[in-house]
Amino acid sequence: MAKTKGIRQVAWLDCAGGGQVVVERGYAYIGHMRNPHGTSIVDVRDPRHPKLVAELSMPPATHSHKVRVGNGLMVTNMESLTSRVVRGERLPEGWRGGIRIHDVSDPDRPRHILDWHCTHVPDGGPASGVHRFDFDGRYAYLSPTMEGYAGNIMLVLDLADPQHPVEVSRWWVPGQWTAGGEVPSWEGWAHRVHHALRYGDRLNVSLWHGGFAILDVSDLAKPRFISGLDWSPPFPWPTHSAVKVPFPIAGRQMLLVSDEDVARLPDCPPYPAAFMWLVDVTDERHPVQFSSYQLEDMPAEAQPPMTGCHQPVERIVGPEVPVTWFAHGLRIIDISRPHAMREAAYFLPDPPPGSDRVQANDVYVDERGLIYLIDRVRGLHVLERV
């Protein structure tokens, strides 16, 4: 039986597992983890009866697990599952990753506009294409693989004319631009852009095992590094997301930063499972992590991958923040007391069909306050706080 506190399930949709869910104007858009499933569009205007209205597919050895919607456009990523053969699958000849742009002014009938391609890296790392990204209705803040760079960088793409995207700027961790003579101080793709989230004239960019960076994008053509913070090592997990808290807490400006419970650095001390941090950015030139949160019942010994923290909701609207905690489902963390964050509610469903445990991957809250929780193996939960 599902275990829950302060959360009620409104509906469950049996669908392929997903990496991201966003909701706009009563429609949920789901980016799926595994081909042939690419993107699903679900009518949730009646949240008790979700209705699948459109499906887009992806070819073998690729996926489209991230999706954003704004200004009548749907943007999805195109990424290889690996740079080589995966589970007997091979990339189609000539395939290149990037983003796919659709007109969703009528969500029931998405209309393909254009595929924008970045560089395919046949043997350069774990995957090629675009991984995570942000989109504000005009600009897309991408994490593409590009020729001449070691690992994903940050690239801003202007979609004012979606049929003719224009690169505005790019930014990378010093050491990534190998074609320019830079030499990484890390092994492989340990430091790379994982995710950029815009808030005002700042981009908060997670850098995997390189921590995170704060960029000034008041001049979008010239992103400027302000500061960064890296705690890996000694902590073994990569940094997943750095989300701006849009209101002061105890008079201070904060980032909520999650580490993802995967890809542990092998030479770090053992820790039970990934957790999340509050980082004080009141003086953004000197960010300081001063508070953290881990589930109270997390065992003290090391746990299997994808047991602990994954990511918070990417648009925080109040002090109760929904956070996906992989095998521990959805947790609602109250951050109103920054030195004493606490769990206010939780939802731990039964493992979905085809899985031996829950894999809560992404969460979104719509304008009605409904919570959408996607499992990376199977199923979408529509929830409400009670």
Mean pLDDT of the 343-352 span: 96
Radius of gyration of the chain (CA): 20
Mean pLDDT of the 118-140 span: 83
Q: Is residue 9, in this structure, part of any structural domain at all?
A: no
Collapsed DSSP state (helix, strand, coil) of residue 130:
strand
Q: Is the pLDDT of residue 353 over 60?
A: yes
Identify whether residues 214 and 177 lie together within a single domain.
no
Identify whether residues 74 and 168 lie together within a single domain.
yes
CA distance 96 to 233: 33
Identify whether residues 250 and 208 lie together within a single domain.
yes
Q: How confident is the model at residue 82 (pLDDT cuts 50, 70, 90)?
A: low
Percent helix, strand, coil in the chain (nearest 5)?
0, 50, 50
Q: Is residue 5, in this structure, part of any structural domain at all?
A: no
Q: Which of 143, 162, 189 is the last residue of a domain?
A: 189
Place of tokens 């609207």: 317
Identify whether residues 344 and 198 lie together within a single domain.
yes
Closest CA relative to residue 77, chosen from 169, 179, 155: 155
Q: Is residue 119, in this structure, part of any structural domain at all?
A: yes
Give the chain's mean pLDDT.
94
Q: How confident is the model at residue 269 (pLDDT cuts 50, 70, 90)?
A: confident
pLDDT of 161 reads 98
Q: Is the pLDDT of residue 84 over 60?
A: no
Q: Which of 140, 172, 189 is the last residue of a domain?
A: 189
CA distance 219 to 142: 17
Mean pLDDT of the 85-102 span: 84
CA distance 220 to 164: 18
Q: How confident is the model at residue 126 (pLDDT cuts 50, 70, 90)?
A: low
Q: Is residue 309, in this structure, part of any structural domain at all?
A: yes
How many domains does the chain fold into? 2
Closest CA relative to residue 82, chosen from 116, 120, 56: 120
Q: Which of 142, 170, 189 is the last residue of a domain?
A: 189
Q: And the tokens for 289?
A: 């992590």
Amino acid identity of residue 312, one-letter, is: P
Q: Is residue 383, in this structure, part of any structural domain at all?
A: no
Torsion sign (Cα): 353, 358, 362, 365: positive
Which tens digit of pLDDT belongs to each residue from 223-234? 999 999 999 999
Q: Is residue 355, in this structure, part of any structural domain at all?
A: no
Q: Is residue 362, in this structure, part of any structural domain at all?
A: no
Identify whether residues 62 and 162 lie together within a single domain.
yes
Q: How many CB atoms lie within 10 A of CB 383?
A: 25
CA distance 110 to 275: 38
Q: Is the pLDDT of residue 86 over 80?
A: no
CB 54 within 8 A of CB 107: yes
Residues paired with 57 in a beta bridge: 37
pLDDT of 85 reads 47
Amino acid identity of residue 52, one-letter, is: L
pLDDT of 83 reads 47
Mean pLDDT of the 191-196 span: 96
Closest CA relative to residue 361, chosen from 48, 60, 66: 66
Amino acid identity of residue 110, one-letter, is: P
Q: What CATH number corresponds to the domain at position 26?
A: 2.130.10.10
Identify whether residues 198 and 173 lie together within a single domain.
no
Identify whether residues 108 and 232 lie together within a single domain.
no
Write out the H or E segment, with its range, that includes residue 334.
strand 330-334
pLDDT of 280 reads 97
Q: How confident is the model at residue 122 (pLDDT cuts 50, 70, 90)?
A: low
Number of H helices, E strands in the chain: 0, 30
What's the distance, CA 306 to chain centroid?
15
What's the distance, CA 219 to chain centroid?
25
Identify whether residues 196 and 277 lie together within a single domain.
yes
CA distances to 78, 99, 159, 177, 234 from 171, rounded to whole Å, are 20, 18, 18, 10, 26
Q: How confident is the model at residue 63 (pLDDT cuts 50, 70, 90)?
A: very high
Torsion sign (Cα): 10, 15, 16, 18: negative
Mean pLDDT of the 113-131 span: 80
Q: Is the pLDDT of residue 29 over 70?
A: yes
pLDDT of 121 reads 63
Collapsed DSSP state (helix, strand, coil) of residue 178:
helix
pLDDT of 189 reads 86
Identify whether residues 150 and 257 lie together within a single domain.
no
Q: And the tokens for 131?
A: 């991984």
Q: What CATH number corresponds to the domain at position 228?
A: 2.40.128.630
Q: Is residue 249, in this structure, part of any structural domain at all?
A: yes
Identify whether residues 169 and 227 lie together within a single domain.
no
Identify whether residues 35 and 88 lie together within a single domain.
yes
Whole-model pTM: value is 0.96
Q: Between β-strands 73-80 and 67-70, what pairing exists: parallel, antiparallel or unpaired?
A: antiparallel
Q: Is the pLDDT of residue 384 over 90?
A: yes
Identify whether residues 260 and 116 lie together within a single domain.
no
Write out the H or E segment, with its range, that includes residue 26.
none
Which residue range is the domain that position 281 belongs to? 192-348
